Amino acid sequence: MAALAEEQTEVAVKLEPEGPPTLLPPQAGDGAGEGSGGTTNNVGSVAVEDQPDVSAVLSAYSQQGDPTMYEEYYSGLKHFIECSLDCHRAELSQLFYPLFVHMYLELVYNQHENEAKSFFEKFHGDQECYYQDDLRVLSSLTKKEHMKGNETMLDFRTSKFVLRISRDSYQLLKRHLQEKQNNQIWNIVQEHLYIDIFDGMPRSKQQIDAMVGSLAGEAKREANKSKVFFGLLKEPEIEVPLDDEDEEGENEEGKPKKKKPKKDSIGSKSKKQDPNAPPQNRIPLPELKDSDKLDKIMNMKETTKRVRLGPDCLPSICFYTFLNAYQGLTAVDVTDDSSLIAGGFADSTVRVWSVTPKKLRSVKQASDLSLIDKESDDVLERIMDEKTASELKILYGHSGPVYGASFSPDRNYLLSSSEDGTVRLWSLQTFTCLVGYKGHNYPVWDTQFSPYGYYFVSGGHDRVARLWATDHYQPLRIFAGHLADVNCTRFHPNSNYVATGSADRTVRLWDVLNGNCVRIFTGHKGPIHSLTFSPNGRFLATGATDGRVLLWDIGHGLMVGELKGHTDTVCSLRFSRDGEILASGSMDNTVRLWDAIKAFEDLETDDFTTATGHINLPENSQELLLGTYMTKSTPVVHLHFTRRNLVLAAGAYSPQ
């Protein structure tokens, strides 16, 4: 491995002579330094743990005005905004929350505790409901000493709160503050807020409400300007032989028909290069093994029997209920071919079930393997030990609850992530742990394999997502930028991008090639717990604790839809295989099916919308809802569409 590492520092992308591909070492500004081992020894040092010097952060609050005047300043601004024209009022109202927080922190830092308490009690009720959880944390900061270890305070101080305001509204605010000589508020606006000014009509309250709610305000418009290659990679051409019954037929002359290789329609669809697709070699991907080609052929055959879904043809739903799950079910995953299901539990175990008549078998011991004829046709059957056959295998190794699970596309491996800060790679041939990946310092909430295998991503409480390769014990990329836990991670279908959903109420899209953040989506009013990409790679659906499902156009970087209906956290989202239906599963014990075709049709994004972020979301949730299916008392933890478009759902029975 050492030799490989040295070579890697000399060439940008290098394929190992006999092995899987590996990415170039992280570059400067990529979230990692340079060192030996191809990916760096000091990767962990560039994480969020390196907080800025706290005393320097807090010192900005030392230039205070008259503490008795803070309430008057805030009330004066509030009165001015509430009396302004309707078109400006909605935009200027965005100032209330960040100003309230910074003025309160200034009072606390300068030890005016009574004034701070009075200020908080008088104005905290005026803030939007989705900020109340943050304000509860803020209310616990009553002394200067409390501020040093508080993450919410540091977030507010180190990242400027972003407000998007029209030029007319901004000029109105500036004129008012200068007339009143309100330097206290003007200083906060200058130092702690980032005002993204745009030309044109001010936004309506509905347009603003759709986009606000995150810990740091809206995304800057520049954040969503990068080009994103959202198209799919060209599929390799694989010839699919005709089924046996077709081959046996004879023609009228009595001669057997010649076998004709049949190509699958999906394969032929991808023959033309998608103009929005990344170059085929943009990131090195593993080469297809014979077993992968065989699996693709099986997939193509299944595709020909796939049911075409739509409003008039909804899928059947098969629900796997985990009964007596006293261990506490915390994660579920299903293989792409729907043959295996894995559950992660709070007792630190991972359990794998076969959901077909074929039982799970381990490979024989080394001493027995030496006796097998390696040239025989059924060597793959002979190496399996029939004595170990069972429907369930339990994997022991973690020392904390298992919060994430993901099968590799070839079904040979299983990833699990845990509270113990590790991600483990398990062999599904021997049902043992092969590697423990250590990089996160805190619980790892989610992990997922790339659609092509080899790479995987993990996200956790340390606010960072990490990209790994199975044969590297250190991360290849560190995706740092979220202000709170990374709750969920998803690979784009072309494997060039990773999406992360966070408790800071934002979704970010990261470029695997260089580690850059290329999209920031704001609009959720609660922590994000589920993500899924559409099969064509253009759209992203996200679900959060606010019960809403938001739909995003990745190419333009805009929100294009909002699905309301769930009354609790949306834990799982999945598009059907052809993208016609979106299924959502929630803690409210329901599975809901939505019309994805209708949600995305007639999307015409003009230059003005892209430039200003003015979006008018259609209020058509009820039209898009095709069906609601309730469980008896089982929160829906996971959803999966089989290759024939049957829905598999899973959750643990939780009687109230």
Q: Which residues contact 330 (CB under 8 A, 6 or more apart)?
A: 344, 345, 346, 401, 402, 403
How many domains, in total, are found in the chain? Answer: 1
Predicted confidence at residue 259, as pLDDT, reads: 43
pLDDT at residue 271 above 70? Answer: no
User: Residue 516 half-sphere exposure, CB side, CA atoms within 13 Å?
Assistant: 12
Predicted confidence at residue 64, as pLDDT, reads: 60
* Number of other CB atoms surrounding residue 133 within 10 Å: 14
pTM of the model: 0.84
CA torsion, ordered 360, 366, 370, 376, to nearest 10 deg: 20
Predicted confidence at residue 58, as pLDDT, reads: 52
Instruction: Please tell me the least confidently modeled range out of 150-154, 268-272, 546-550.
Output: 268-272
**∠40-400-431 over CA atoms, to 5°?**
80
Classify 99 as helix, strand or coil.
helix
Spatial CA neighbour of 405 closest among 413, 416, 397, 395: 416
**What is the percent of the chain where pLDDT is above 70?**
79
Mean pLDDT score, 458-466: 95
Classify 12 as helix, strand or coil.
coil
8 Å CB contact between 642 and 338: yes
What is the end-to-end Cα distance of the chain in Å, rounded?
Answer: 54
Mean pLDDT score, 627-643: 94
Amino acid making up residue 276: N
Distance separating alpha carbons of residues 432 and 425, to the nearest angstrom: 9
Predicted confidence at residue 37, as pLDDT, reads: 35
Mean pLDDT score, 87-92: 90
Higher-scoring residue by pLDDT: 533, 272 = 533
pLDDT band with cut points at 50, 70 and 90 for residue 605: low
Predicted confidence at residue 104, as pLDDT, reads: 87
pLDDT at residue 34 above 90? Answer: no
Mean pLDDT score, 331-341: 94
- 474-511 burial, b at 16+ Cβ within 10 Å, e below that, comes to bbbbbbbbbbbbbbbbbbbbbbbbbbbbbbbbbbbbbb
Spatial CA neighbour of 196 closest among 172, 161, 225: 161
Predicted confidence at residue 252, as pLDDT, reads: 44
Spacing of C-alpha 140 from chain mean position: 31
Burial of 260 (0-12, 13-18, 19+ CB in 10 A): exposed
**∠444-445-447 over CA atoms, to 5°?**
85
Distance separating alpha carbons of residues 356 and 586, to the nearest angstrom: 27
pLDDT band with cut points at 50, 70 and 90 for residue 248: very low
Instruction: Please tell me the least confidently modeled range out of 343-347, 363-367, 569-573.
Output: 363-367
**What is the percent of the chain where pLDDT is above 90?**
42
pLDDT at residue 418 above 90? Answer: yes
Predicted confidence at residue 524, as pLDDT, reads: 94
> What's the mean pLDDT when you consider all of the chain?
81
CA torsion, ordered 454, 226, 574, 491, to nearest 10 deg: 10
8 Å CB contact between 583 and 592: yes
Predicted confidence at residue 40, as pLDDT, reads: 35
Predicted confidence at residue 62, as pLDDT, reads: 54
Mean pLDDT score, 79-103: 89
pLDDT at residue 30 above 90? Answer: no
Higher-scoring residue by pLDDT: 614, 228 = 228
Evaluate whether residue 28 is within a structural domain. Answer: no
Amino acid making up residue 5: A
User: Residue 304 half-sphere exposure, CB side, CA atoms within 13 Å?
Assistant: 13
Distance separating alpha carbons of residues 503 and 462, to the nearest angstrom: 11
Mean pLDDT score, 30-39: 36
Q: Which residues contact 621 (CB under 8 A, 6 or more apart)?
A: 562, 563, 564, 565
Give, in order, the Cα–Cα distances in Å from 612 to each of 172, 508, 607: 19, 19, 9
Instruction: Convert the pLDDT of each residue in 503-540 to its tens digit.
Output: 999 999 999 999 999 999 999 999 999 999 999 999 99
* Number of other CB atoms surrounding residue 106 within 10 Å: 24
pLDDT at residue 303 above 90? Answer: no
Distance separating alpha carbons of residues 511 and 582, to the nearest angstrom: 25
Distance separating alpha carbons of residues 112 and 229, to the nearest angstrom: 53
Instruction: Please tell me the least confidently modeled range out of 79-88, 146-155, 362-371, 558-567.
Output: 146-155
Strand partners for 325: none
Mean pLDDT score, 91-96: 90
Mean pLDDT score, 643-654: 92
Predicted confidence at residue 426, as pLDDT, reads: 95
Evaluate whether residue 134 is within a structural domain. Answer: yes
Predicted confidence at residue 610, as pLDDT, reads: 57
Is the dihedral angle over the CA atoms 645, 651, 653, 656 positive or is it negative?
negative
Spacing of C-alpha 493 from chain mean position: 13
Predicted confidence at residue 596, as pLDDT, reads: 92
* Number of other CB atoms surrounding residue 282 within 10 Å: 17
Spatial CA neighbour of 114 closest among 104, 124, 123: 104
| CATH number of the structural domain spanning residue 130 | 1.25.40.500
Instruction: Convert the pLDDT of each residue in 46-84 to its tens digit.
Output: 333 344 444 555 555 555 667 778 888 888 889 999 998
Q: Which two tokens stand for residue 617?
A: 């979301």
- The enclosing H or E element of 301 equals helix 290-304
Evaluate whether residue 638 is within a structural domain. Answer: no
Evaluate whether residue 495 is within a structural domain. Answer: no
Spatial CA neighbour of 349 closest among 401, 392, 417, 391: 401
Phi-psi region of 17 (alpha: psi -120 to 50; beta: other; left: phi over 0): alpha
pLDDT band with cut points at 50, 70 and 90 for residue 628: very high
Distance separating alpha carbons of residues 510 and 652, to the nearest angstrom: 33
pLDDT at residue 35 above 70? Answer: no
8 Å CB contact between 547 and 566: yes
* Number of other CB atoms surrounding residue 651 within 10 Å: 26
Instruction: Please tell me the least confidently modeled range out of 366-370, 478-482, 557-561.
Output: 366-370
Evaluate whether residue 183 is within a structural domain. Answer: yes
Evaluate whether residue 315 is within a structural domain. Answer: no
Higher-scoring residue by pLDDT: 408, 141 = 408
Distance separating alpha carbons of residues 254 and 497, to the nearest angstrom: 55
pLDDT at residue 11 above 50? Answer: no
Residue span of the structural domain in which 83 resides = 54-218
Mean pLDDT score, 3-15: 31
Return the residue matching tokens 């520049």.
222
Q: Which two tokens stand for residue 391?
A: 């429907």
Which of 207-216, 293-302, 467-476 has the highest average model confidence (pLDDT)? 467-476
Higher-scoring residue by pLDDT: 11, 647 = 647
pLDDT band with cut points at 50, 70 and 90 for residue 140: confident
pLDDT at residue 257 above 50? Answer: no
Evaluate whether residue 171 is within a structural domain. Answer: yes
Evaluate whether residue 142 is within a structural domain. Answer: yes
Q: What are phi and psi of 102, to 5 degrees?
A: -70, -35
pLDDT at residue 6 above 50? Answer: no
